[in-house]
């Protein structure tokens, strides 16, 4: 039988002594909490801290964020991935200026009406920024509960989600939501980790049913492993009269509004060189020839492993004005200006390679 009050106390005391010194914990300013919560989705904490510091230097408040251009926002986010998060932050900043007096709302229902804010983020902002008595459940907390309460429901199932929210709500000590919710998240990040939890230092070990029954490897129930899907792509860096061609992806596309060199997925029985020539014609109506290979980059995107073959190409014609079919804008720029634009991971790797090998 779990003694809730002892469990709550143990967690709060542990958090007080062991919490990490994170920038947004200095003053719990709602804007900073919001940005940290969005950045922390799918991202390691050391990267979140680095990007959060950079973000706050560029956009210290909601007004400066709303005044910035979408290009500036995406550039600051470049490398964090899942760019719809940055675009939603931007939309929300403008809504906050127009409708909420440049302030993040406290109420869950209002928070949920803002772009990119779902149940978890709304509860995190309400409890951590404003101290509202609402529970949160993220992947860390689900894992802790599965072990602590020996829950054998399928992860991600509606039953499991319902159970975790009920447990989180029942456990929440009144008036302590800010620290208690963070204590759970911190325990999941530092102690009750996915692999090899450090039970010997766990403040709630005496309450943990999975530890008691020797079931930790089975809690949560292991997910079936998802296969990595390989994808082959090719792209071309078009140089003309000392300038390089870049285009901006369509706003509602994957990596929407990011910049890129034209290219795409290789068809079966097509060489990478053929792909580049074909993609240039389809996307820009520019006829190009492949001049030389630059490199091949590999990066991972969700469950895809993307192999990107990269070439220098040149125009086969005098016409250098494209007709865009897969982009909303284009620029011919000196290569030295390329860092002013945000690119997806594979193309950023290519740029880094060209810079470090002085290829452009």
Instruction: Tell me how far, at minimum, the Cβ of 210 lies from ligand SF4, in Å.
Output: 5
x-marked contacts with ligand SF4 along 134-173 as a string, rule CB under 6 A: ----------x--xx-------------------------
7 versus 234: smaller Cβ distance to ligand SF4? 7
Using CB under 6 A as the binding rule, the residues of this chain from 105 to 124 that contact ligand SF4 are none
- Residue 249 touches ligand SF4, criterion: CB under 6 A: no
In the annotation, is 70 catalytic? no
The contact pattern for ligand SF4, residues 194-213, with x = CB under 6 A and - = no contact, is: ---x-x--x-xx--x-xx--
CB of 40 to ligand SF4, least distance (A): 20
Which of 191, 233, 237, 277: binder of ligand SF4 (CB under 6 A)?
A: 191
Q: Is residue 62 part of the contact set for ligand SF4 (CB under 6 A)?
A: no
- For position 183 contacting ligand SF4 by CB under 6 A, the verdict is no
Q: What sign has the CA pseudo-torsion 41, 148, 18, 180?
A: positive
Q: Which of 172, 164, 159, 24 is nearest to 104 (CA)?
A: 24
Complex with ligand SF4: residue 147 or 348, whichever CB lies closer: 147
The nearer residue to ligand SF4, 108 or 205, going by C-beta atoms, is: 205
- Which positions are catalytic? 37
């Amino acid at each position: 039988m779990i003694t809730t009050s002892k469990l709550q106390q143990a967690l709060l005391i542990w958090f007080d002594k062991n919490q990490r010194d994170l920038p947004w914990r200095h003053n719990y300013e709602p804007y900073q909490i919001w940005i940290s919560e969005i950045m922390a989705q799918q991202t390691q904490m050391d990267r979140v801290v680095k990007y959060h510091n950079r973000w706050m230097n560029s956009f210290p408040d909601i007004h400066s964020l709303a005044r910035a251009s979408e290009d500036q926002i995406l550039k600051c986010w470049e490398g964090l991935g899942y760019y719809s998060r940055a675009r939603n932050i931007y939309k929300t900043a403008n809504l906050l200026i127009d409708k909420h007096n440049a302030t993040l709302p406290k109420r869950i229902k209002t928070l949920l009406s803002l772009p990119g804010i779902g149940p978890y983020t709304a509860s995190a902002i309400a409890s951590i920024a404003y101290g509202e008595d609402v529970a949160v459940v993220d992947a860390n907390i689900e894992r802790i509960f599965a072990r602590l309460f020996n829950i054998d429901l399928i992860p991600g199932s509606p039953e499991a989600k319902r159970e975790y929210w009920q447990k989180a709500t029942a456990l929440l000590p009144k008036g302590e939501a800010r620290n208690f919710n963070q204590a759970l998240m911190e325990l999941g990040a530092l102690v009750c980790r996915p692999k090899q939890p450090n039970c010997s230092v766990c403040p709630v070990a005496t309450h943990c049913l999975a530890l008691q029954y020797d079931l930790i490897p089975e809690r949560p129930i292991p997910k079936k492993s998802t296969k990595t899907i390989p994808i082959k792509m090719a792209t071309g860096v078009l140089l003309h009269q000392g300038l390089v061609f870049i285009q901006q992806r369509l706003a509602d596309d994957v990596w929407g509004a990011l910049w890129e060199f034209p290219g795409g997925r290789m068809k079966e029985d097509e060489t990478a060189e053929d792909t580049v020539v074909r993609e240039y014609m389809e996307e820009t109506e520019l006829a190009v020839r492949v001049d030389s290979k630059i490199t091949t980059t590999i990066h991972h995107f969700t469950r895809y492993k993307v192999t990107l073959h990269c070439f220098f190409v040149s125009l086969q014609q005098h016409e250098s004005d494209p007709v865009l079919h897969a982009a909303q804008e284009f620029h011919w720029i000196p290569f030295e200006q390329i860092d002013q634009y945000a690119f997806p991971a594979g193309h950023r790797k290519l740029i880094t390679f060209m810079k470090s090998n002085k290829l452009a």
